[in-house]
Amino acid sequence: MMARFEFLGRFARNRGALVGAALILVVAIVALLAPLFYPTDPLRIVGPPELWPGEDRDFPLGTDSLGRDILAMIVHGARATLLIGLFASAVATLIGVTVGAIAGYFGGWIDEIAMRAAELFQTIPNLIFVLTIVVILGSTLGNIVIAIGIVSWTSIARMTRAEFLALRDREFVQACRAMGMGNGRIILGEILPNALPPVIVLSSLVVAGAILFESAVSFLGLGDPNIASWGRLVGDGRQLIRSSWYICAIPGVAIMVTVLCLNLIGDGLNDALNPKLRDR
């Protein structure tokens, strides 16, 4: 309990992280309450096309080129954006921690194969890799999550491997081996909890990267056509950027603020979890 309070205290010292956490909390609440705010389909046509923000009280942020309510799409798009970011980060973390833990603990030829596989993934441009997977599997929300997770695990794997290499020969691990404890129990119960802090920080940054990937996929027209997302709204408005630039600007600002807040939270987690920065 004391450790938890110490963590929260160290995190609270970073004002930028607090602001980021507060704004992300607001976005999360809006995403959760989206069906209450706008219970109908946000993609349906509800008004005249290209109404500017403030021009009609029924549409505070205006309408797009088809007459869809931009505020309704922003509110519902927050849900899709956060879900994709969180689940894609979870997929990347699961793959990366598994590969990095096995490579770092066992070493030898297992480490060589795992690291060469990570290098192979890193040689392929991430966005092109994501687009290829989405085209092959289909433009559904689940497939986009899987595609982003597959291309985002390498940095987590390298971080986990480095932590396991530093911890696998420590005294407490040798004591566990001397007691006859199995490799799986040592990896999951002893080394992994000590290796998680930097992995948690990196995973929080993967969430921000996943949101940008999803925005790029939707911008290029390969996102789920049945779901409102910020990237899709930016893509739909790019042809009218000279006459109705607000259609791109509003979701673009939402993406920018969300990613910035997630990066600030990552900095706060690094300050709170990194023992070298605890007394900073």
Tokens at 31, concatenated = 């995403």
**Half-sphere exposure at residue 153, Cβ-oriented, CA atoms within 13 angstroms:** 26
Q: Is the dihedral of CA 267, 272, 273, 278 positive or negative?
A: positive
Cα distances (Å, whole numbers) of residue 107 to 96, 100, 162, 195, 203: 16, 10, 11, 16, 24
CA distance 103 to 173: 16
Give the pLDDT confidence of 90-147 residue by residue, as tens digits. Answer: 999 999 999 999 998 888 888 899 888 888 888 888 888 888 888 888 888 888 899 9
Helix 15-32 and helix 2-12: axis angle, to 10°? 100
Please state the domain extents for the chain.
2-277
Cα distances (Å, whole numbers) of residue 185 to 160, 161, 172, 173: 17, 17, 13, 11
179 burial (CB, 10 Å; 0-12 / 13-18 / 19+) is: exposed
Give the pLDDT confidence of 72-94 residue by residue, as tens digits. Answer: 999 998 888 888 888 999 999 99
At residue 48, what is the residue type? P
pLDDT value of residue 203: 87
Residues in the chain: 280
Query: DSSP assignment of 151-212, as one string?
Result: HS-HHHHHHHHHHHHHHTTSHHHHHHHHTT--HHHHIIIIIHHHHHHHHHHHHHHHHHHHHH
Give residue for tokens 């789920």. Answer: 224
Task: Choose the CATH number for 2-277 among 3.40.640.10, 3.30.70.240, 1.10.3720.10, 1.10.760.10.
Answer: 1.10.3720.10
pLDDT value of residue 276: 55
Q: Is the dihedral of CA 177, 181, 182, 184 positive or negative?
A: negative
Tokens at 256, concatenated = 């920018």
pTM of the model: 0.85
Q: Rounded to an integer, what is the distance from CA 212 to the centroid of its chain?
A: 8
What stretches in the chain show pLDDT beneath 70? Answer: 1-8, 274-280
CA distance 224 to 222: 7
pLDDT value of residue 94: 93
pLDDT value of residue 79: 87
pLDDT value of residue 97: 92
Contact status, residue 105 vs residue 183, Cβ threshold 8 Å: yes
